[in-house]
Amino acid sequence: PAAVEAAGNKYLAREHFAAAGLPVPAYFRVPLDSDPSTACARAPWPCVLKPIGLSGSRGVIRANTSDEFLAAFDRIRRLLDSPDILRHRDPALGFIQIEEYIPGREFALEGLMTAGRLRTLALFDKPDPLDGPFFEETIYVTPSRQPTAAQQAMHDAIQKACTALGLSDGPVHAELRANENGVWVLEVAARPIGGLCARVLRFNG
């Protein structure tokens, strides 16, 4: 249960990744009812604002200026105050996380953990540039067109992230970015991939 909780909480996941020596951007969280101007003064630029307890890039917004930051903060606050969100009663939804923006290509990895070891089932390329301000995902491509060494580096990073979170058995869906500074794990969810993408995965035996 602790591993699943950490995987579903962007702040706890960052704490676990940092403790394990994985590269992480500058980040901090603030309560939903805090003064956005104070948070804005601390923000690394450009930055990304994220509701801590949501998934699927919902409510994730890039800000390049203080005006964009304040508008994004207000937009996320209104989203988290909506009835369909409040009914979940998740304490994590009472916070917004501010992170340094990570440039680079984005990928998704679908895997299966067995006794602590990751088996990569599919690596998805995301050919659309996901530079913000919103991060709607429209196209996934698999098999990946990345070189073997790059794919191995992504697998190794997700293995390390899963170990850091304490995930040992079951499906994982991970989002990551790669640039000249290496592989950056965005998040690892303790579940299979959602939406229509799951239909492209077929396994025999």
pTM: 0.89
Q: pLDDT per residue over 150-192, tens digit each?
A: 999 999 999 999 999 999 999 999 999 999 999 999 999 999 8
SS (H, E, C) 106-138: EEEEEEEEECCEEEEEEEEECCCCCCCCECCCC
CA distances from residue 27 to 42, 67, 100, 121, 152 in whole angstroms, order as listed: 10, 19, 6, 30, 27
- Name the residue among 199, 3, 179 with its Cα closest to residue 110: 199
DSSP class of 198 = G
Q: Answer yes or no: is pLDDT of 140 > 80.
A: yes
Q: Answer yes or no: is pLDDT of 204 > 70.
A: no
Q: pLDDT per residue over 61-103, tens digit each?
A: 999 999 999 999 999 998 888 877 766 667 777 899 999 999 9
Over range 23-44, report the average pLDDT: 96
Q: Residue 174 has what pLDDT?
A: 96
Q: At what angle do helices 10-19 and 148-165 cross, to 10 degrees?
A: 110
As beta bridge partners, residue 198 has none
Percentage helix, strand, coil for the chain under 3-state DSSP, each rounded to 5:
35, 30, 40
**And the tokens for 178?**
């790669």
The 3-state DSSP class for residue 173 equals: strand
> Which carries the bigger pLDDT value, residue 196 or residue 134?
134
Q: Residue 203 has what pLDDT?
A: 67
Over range 102-118, report the average pLDDT: 96
Q: Answer yes or no: is pLDDT of 205 > 60.
A: no
> Which carries the bigger pLDDT value, residue 18 or residue 52?
18
Residue 36 parent element (H or E): helix 36-42
For all residues of the chain together, what is the average pLDDT? 91
Cβ pair 139, 193 in contact under 8 A? no
